[in-house]
A and B are shown apart, each in its own frame.
Chain A
């Protein structure tokens, strides 16, 4: 049966996905290359976005996201399904992003890239997509300003806080999934998210 592969499939509701991630993984494990390509298409934006939120550099984010899929390709036979594919993917992306972060830190680069400026990538400009909303244009403007300010403040947070906030609010992972992805306890996730939000709240209040 021929299957139509939808780009950016991770934006689609689960019900519209004709094949589950688990099925694609099983096909990868028996050497189906097209199944791997499908997994990449389905989750490339997720991987890229998480990496970008952590690194704030589109080229580094692309490299980390691609490397994450390379690692999955090479170790797909070792995956036993203890967690969801997306949790595994997030785990790899976060680890590689941490490595990249340390790599740059040792070379003296700590600055982040502002989203105010056009994002030039090696292979073209990356468009910025805002979450769709049905509000009036002036309300949209206020929200956009708030989100932009919030985006800057998140970029200033410690890496550990950014990780949990991105996984929770951007990717919508549960505390349990975050605990698996970060290899820590649920209690740690809970307290870390609370502290991250408190830090963010104070930071936003200071700017008022």
Chain B
């Protein structure tokens, strides 16, 4: 039986006379003693003979004339269409299919992946998360969630950070304020590396993004978002007041208000101030120390600045001195604003910066940047009069 399994596959070639002499001898020896295989052999011979006796059709008498006609007409013998060629032998089919997959993948990557503008909010969240993990290991989840809220809900930040209405602020408020402070350091470009001059000395050059709300406001105000070097969140009932003070302060630091976004509801607005990059930190400091805010802010442990929400001009979410210095690239590691100001002014007296072009020649040569001042309603107070008539839009 075992021999039959070996012999029977060879019987077909034996019928055709295609076995080597040695194989043929083995088969014939087996056939002499195996009636079953002999029966199979007989059937195979019958089939072979029957196949050879298949009816033969004659081609039409005009066969040659038709061949000649095709040659004259130049007809292509191929009967396949272009579509059929796609499915021709694997040597063509497989490479074509692989190439098609690559093309499809490239198209998907090109069209389906979100553009940088579309990923601003998403990147912001991711960046904030990274920062929260790396720089604020003790931050509680609630504070983190507050900070990671899309820019359109930025008013939540001061709500957390000013909890207690300017009184003693617990760990939660502190964390929120600190997280809020990072908001002001966003720069545009989701995948752009921060230039070394801007990266500061306290941290790696990481890609920064602007909140989507700031990007939208910049677009509406006609400001190139790539020039925006940071955003300061200011709580105030009166954006117009903030604008006046920003103009006044900017003029003091070699800058000017270049654009103001339209109102975004509930008196929310962004004022864009252009100034030398090296003056940005001093400008922020000056903004904090403006009348109506400086007297009311309270220093709390850890260097976090919290300001009284009753102030008509309230700067919130301002980073610690160290963070401001790092973000602005001034390389100041001092823990105090005064020290930073002194460093920036090359030994100028402390107190509210009284900087001028004359005594700061390096500042003249520094590249300019745009600082966004985002005005939001005081979170600790219900908007007393949010109607546009009380605070007309700033042109």
Shortest Cβ distance from residue B148 to the other chain A in the assembled complex, whole angstroms: 56
Q: Are B58 and A129 in contact (CB under 8 A)?
A: yes
Shortest Cβ distance from residue B206 to the other chain A in the assembled complex, whole angstroms: 57
A99 to B299, CA, bound (A): 86
B69-100 interface with A by 8 A CB criterion: 70-71, 75, 77-81, 83-84, 87
Shortest Cβ distance from residue A16 to the other chain B in the assembled complex, whole angstroms: 19
Q: Are A147 and B50 in contact (CB under 8 A)?
A: yes
Q: Are A70 and B71 in contact (CB under 8 A)?
A: yes
Q: Are B84 and A121 in contact (CB under 8 A)?
A: no
Beyond A106-B84, A123-B62, A169-B52, 10 extra complex contacts between A and B, CB < 8 Å: A65-B59, A65-B63, A67-B77, A68-B77, A70-B67, A122-B60, A129-B55, A129-B57, A200-B47, A201-B47
Residue of A8, A53, A124, A150 with highest tally of chain B CB at under 10 A: A150
Shortest Cβ distance from residue A199 to the other chain B in the assembled complex, whole angstroms: 10
Q: Mark A164-191, 1 if CB is under 8 A from B, else 0.
A: 0110111010110000000000000011
A69 to B53, CA, bound (A): 26
Chain B, interface size: which category?
35 or more
- Count A interface residues, CB 8 Å: 67
Closest 4 CB pairs of A and B: A67-B77, A169-B51, A194-B12, A48-B59
Q: Are B84 and A102 in contact (CB under 8 A)?
A: yes
Shortest Cβ distance from residue B47 to the other chain A in the assembled complex, whole angstroms: 6
Give which listed residue, A37, A122, A204, contacts B64 with CB less than 8 A: A37
8 contacts between A and B (CB under 8 A): A45-B58, A48-B57, A62-B66, A68-B77, A70-B75, A168-B48, A194-B10, A198-B12
Q: Which residues of B contact A175 (CB under 8 A)?
A: 13, 16, 18
Q: Does A193 contact B (CB under 8 A)?
A: yes
Q: Does B358 contact A (CB under 8 A)?
A: no
Q: Are B87 and A102 in contact (CB under 8 A)?
A: yes
Q: Which residues of B contact A159 (CB under 8 A)?
A: none
Q: Which residues of A contact B13 (CB under 8 A)?
A: 175, 190, 193-194
Q: Does A71 contact B (CB under 8 A)?
A: yes
Q: Are B9 and A197 in contact (CB under 8 A)?
A: no
Q: Are B54 and A170 in contact (CB under 8 A)?
A: yes
- By beta carbon, the residue of chain A nearest B46 is A146
Q: Are A201 and B43 in contact (CB under 8 A)?
A: yes
Shortest Cβ distance from residue B391 to the other chain A in the assembled complex, whole angstroms: 72
Q: Which residues of A contact B63 (CB under 8 A)?
A: 40, 44, 48, 62, 65-66
Q: Are A73 and B71 in contact (CB under 8 A)?
A: yes
Shortest Cβ distance from residue A155 to the other chain B in the assembled complex, whole angstroms: 10
A interface, by DSSP: helix, strand, loop or mixed?
A: helix
Q: Does B44 contact A (CB under 8 A)?
A: yes
Q: Given A67-B77, A67-B79, A102-B80, are A131 and B52 neighbors across the interface (CB < 8 Å)?
A: yes
Q: Which residues of B contact A130 (CB under 8 A)?
A: 53, 55
Q: Are A44 and B79 in contact (CB under 8 A)?
A: no
Q: Given A154-B51, A169-B48, are A66 and B58 neighbors across the interface (CB < 8 Å)?
A: no
Q: Does A143 contact B (CB under 8 A)?
A: yes
Shortest Cβ distance from residue A162 to the other chain B in the assembled complex, whole angstroms: 10
Q: Does A9 contact B (CB under 8 A)?
A: no
Q: Mark A1-36, 1 if CB is under 8 A from B, else 0.
A: 000000010000000000000000000000000000
Q: Which residues of A contact B9 (CB under 8 A)?
A: 191, 194
- By beta carbon, the residue of chain A nearest B78 is A99
Q: Are A123 and B12 in contact (CB under 8 A)?
A: no
Q: Does B22 contact A (CB under 8 A)?
A: no
Q: Which residues of A contact B66 (CB under 8 A)?
A: 62, 66
Q: Does B56 contact A (CB under 8 A)?
A: yes
Q: Which residues of A contact B79 (CB under 8 A)?
A: 63-64, 67, 96, 99-100, 103
Shortest Cβ distance from residue B60 to the other chain A in the assembled complex, whole angstroms: 5
